Amino acid sequence: MTTDVRSPVSADDRQHDNPNHDRRWLVLCIVALAQLMVVLDSTIVSIALPQAQQGLGIGDADRHWAVTAYALAFGALLLLGGRIADFWGRKRSFLVGAAGFAVASALGGIAQNGSQLFAARAGQGVFAALLAPAALAILTTTFVAKKERATAFAVYGAISGGGAAVGLLLGGLLTEYLDWRWCLLVNVPIAAFAFAAAAPIVAETRAHGDTAYDLPGTVLVALGLGALVYGCTEAEKFGWASAQALGFIAGGLAALAAFVFVERRATNPLLPLYIPWNTNRAPALLGSVAMGAVLIGGTLYLTFYLQIVLGMSPFVSGAAALPLTVAITLAAGIATQLSVRVGPKLPMAVGPLVAAVGLLLLTRIEVDSSYATRVLPALIVLGLGLGLLIAPMQNMALVGVRDQDAGAASALVNATMQVGGALGTALFTTIYVAAKSGYAGSHPGAHPFATEVSGYIDVFTWAAVLLALISPIVVLLVRADKDSLPAEGAVGLH
């Protein structure tokens, strides 16, 4: 999501110029509700996916699209969504985003096959890319006094961090006691309530000045990312050296290269290129990609292991994954204090290595492993490592960014996490299928669950490698110290 964090607001802010000031706490409640819906929608579907796969007859190689379609559409269109919200109107964008999200959720809830489910999830991502930046832009323009803004952003940040945990538990409850379809249908009343509350309460605001949209840049980045993801899925079917896989991957890279060319010459670029081309922000953005891949893509296979192999119910498996969220939250607080005292480099360098150790601990799983001795310790270590990375990574997104580009910079770190999730899910699916095939070929007659576990172990191994590569990049490139961090807090993540 786009976090429209602006420069520090002076004490003489003109609150009478803010049309939402008198109703600002009601506005906060509405924005918080929309934020919760967007955040929980990734984990809530992950918990329901084993049942959805069985109910709709989706193959193992294709089931990842239920996660990938949402993350890819969300991440690819997030920057444009922020621009639309600012130029077209934040309230209008919020209402359209909420209505569209509800419709897409309803279509997903009544899907009759995998293709319909995947299309609905992509639709959710499209409207989330409009809803999420509009919600935060409303929050940012509504709370202008420093102390009240700090309170509002604390609420917003708590929901961003806790939404994943809510999604795990709610998804487990709905799947176990109702039906997996309710993991999508539950969004309809939530979005409808947010729409009905916002319409009479929230006043319209919009940005002024140059309101031209960078449509060529939007098309190129969406095509490029989509081709990369699809190329990874084709590699599973035809091999990495196949014309299908290489063609789509090469096409995706070409589109992204064209995006850079267009952005260099655009008068109102979707993404000012000085933002990613920075020795401090580049490692943070790469860390965001890796963390998205692990959180959205890698832990999807943890859900499969808990439910398919260990036989946990959806609700119990959701509860079993909660220690990961708790550990992330605790470590993020520690990392924030470390960043203030010694700078962001230390926690950013150590965090990925700790998280990689947690993933390597997960490679010890077996068909009959104990959750308490094999899974739980790994989740705690993984969460601590990710938490050490996430807090300084968010703050680094704004180091050295011009005030007028703060929204684009904070949107970028969120977009890279979603794109990392989409690419990671597709890549890990290819690794999982290849590992299963290799194990079945070398172990004829092996128990099906043993074949499944072999695939999960390879996914966790490569996820650990991906995260570990971030640390030397941080050590080599990051130069920011504690005095470089922005004064107005961190970026909110989805």
| Topology (CATH) of 275-494 | Growth Hormone; Chain: A; (1.20.1250)
pLDDT tier for residue 451 given thresholds of 50, 70 and 90: very high
Question: Which token pair is 110?
Answer: 């009544």
DSSP string, 327-395: HHHHHHHHHHHHHHHH-SHHHHHHHHHHHHHHHHHHTT--TT--IIIIIHHHHHHHHHHHHHHHHHHHH
User: Residue 198 and residue 196: Cα distance in Å, rounded?
Assistant: 6
Per residue in 358-367, pLDDT (tens digit) is 999 999 999 9
Q: What is the pLDDT of residues 298-346, one digit of tens each?
A: 788 998 999 999 999 989 998 998 898 888 888 888 887 888 788 888 8
**133-145 pLDDT per residue, tens:** 888 778 777 776 6
Tokens of 377: 């310790």
State the pLDDT at residue 406: 62
- The more confidently predicted of residues 356 and 389 is 356
- Give the distance, in angstroms, between the CA of residue 419 and the centroid of all CA atoms in the same chain: 8
In degrees and rounded to multiples of 5, residue 212 shows phi and psi of: -75, 140
Fold identical between 19-211 and 275-494?
A: yes
Tokens of 39: 């955040």
pLDDT, mean of residues 420-424: 86
The crossing angle, in degrees rounded to 10, of helices 406-442 and 114-142 is 150
Is pTM beyond 0.85 here? Answer: no
pLDDT of residue 158: 65
Q: What share of the chain is helix, strand, coil (3-state, %, to 5)?
A: 75, 0, 25
Is the four-CA dihedral 414, 415, 416, 418 of positive or negative sign? positive
pLDDT at 486: 55
| Helix H or strand E segment including 320 | helix 314-320
The least confident of 12-26, 115-129, 206-220, 258-272 is: 12-26
- Asked if 276 and 405 count as a contact pair (C-beta separation under 8 A), the reply is no
* Whole-number pLDDT of residue 140: 74
Q: Fill in the DSSP letter of residue 21.
A: G
Q: What per-residue confidence (pLDDT) applies to 281?
A: 82
Contact 167, 41 (CB under 8 A): yes
Across 269-273, 348-352, 421-425, 479-483, the highest mean pLDDT is recorded for 348-352
The whole-number average pLDDT for the span 256-269 is 89
Give the span between the Cα atoms of 169 and 177, in whole angstroms. 12
Tell me the one-letter amino acid at 453.
V
Task: Round to whole Å and give the CA distance between 12 and 125.
Answer: 39
> What pLDDT score was predicted for residue 67?
86
The residue extents of the domains of the chain are 19-211, 214-267, 275-494
Distance CA 181, CA 481 (A): 48
| Range scoring the smallest mean pLDDT among 74-88, 115-129, 360-374, 402-416 | 402-416
CA 180 – CA 175 distance, rounded (Å): 4
Quick one: how many helices (H) and strands (E) in the chain? 18, 0
Encode pLDDT of 149-204 as tens digits: 667 766 776 676 667 777 888 888 898 889 999 999 999 999 999 999 988 888 88
- State the pLDDT at residue 352: 94
Alpha-carbon span 360 to 353, nearest angstrom: 10
Q: In CATH, what class is 19-211?
A: mainly alpha
Check whether 94 has a pLDDT greater than 80: yes
Q: What letter represents residue 352's amino acid?
A: P
Q: pLDDT at position 160, please?
A: 66
The CA-based dihedral angle spanning residues 253, 254, 260, 262, taken in that order and rounded to the nearest 10 degrees: -150
Q: Do the beta carbons of residue 432 and residue 388 sit within 8 Å?
A: no
Could you report the per-residue pLDDT of 214-237, keeping only the tens digit for each? 889 888 988 988 888 888 888 777
Distance CA 210, CA 80 (A): 15
| Digit-coded pLDDT (tens) for 30-69 | 888 888 888 888 778 888 888 999 999 998 878 888 888 8
Q: Which helix (H) or strand (E) holds 175?
A: helix 146-177
- H or E element: which one contains 433? helix 406-442
Question: Which DSSP string do the residues of 268-319 spell out, in sequence order?
Answer: S-SS-TTTTSSTTHHHHHHHHHHHHIIIIIITHHHHHIIIIIS---HHHHHH
Residue type, 349: A
pLDDT, greater one: 147 or 211: 147
Q: Does the structure show a pLDDT above 60 at 87?
A: yes
Torsion of CA 426, 431, 436, 437, to 10 degrees: 100
